[in-house]
């Protein structure tokens, strides 16, 4: 379980950092004309969204596992 908490902590820290970087890049894209800046911004934004999806999928899987466990217990008790 320690590894699990470590992964959650790393994902949380990464989310915070990517949010800050994405917001900074967004401002830069709007104010400075630098080659590939918009591409870097969009890539960073996409990675940030993927991390949010990973966190949501993990939560959804945990809930599904709990439901399956409950269902199997109901069948076993029946």
Distance of CA 37 to the CA centre of its chain: 23
Q: Is the pLDDT of residue 74 over 70?
A: yes
Distance between CA atoms of 28 and 58, rounded to whole angstroms? 33
% of the chain surpassing 70 pLDDT: 94
pLDDT tens sequence across 35-70:
999 999 999 999 999 988 988 998 999 999 999 999
| Domain membership of residue 21 as a residue range | 2-77
- Tally of structural domains, the chain: 1
pTM: 0.71
pLDDT tens sequence across 5-23:
787 888 888 889 999 999 9
Per-residue confidence (pLDDT) for residue 1, from 0 to 100? 41
Query: For residue 6, what are the CA distances in angstroms to 1, 2, 3, 16?
Result: 9, 6, 5, 15
């Amino acid at each position: 379980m320690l590894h699990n908490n470590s992964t959650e902590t790393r994902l949380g820290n990464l989310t915070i950092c990517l949010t800050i970087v994405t917001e900074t890049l967004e401002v830069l894209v709007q104010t400075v004309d630098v080659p590939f800046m918009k591409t870097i911004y969009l890539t960073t934004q996409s990675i940030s969204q993927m991390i949010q999806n990973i966190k949501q999928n993990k939560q959804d899987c945990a809930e599904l596992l709990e439901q399956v466990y409950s269902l199997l217990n109901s069948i076993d008790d029946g």
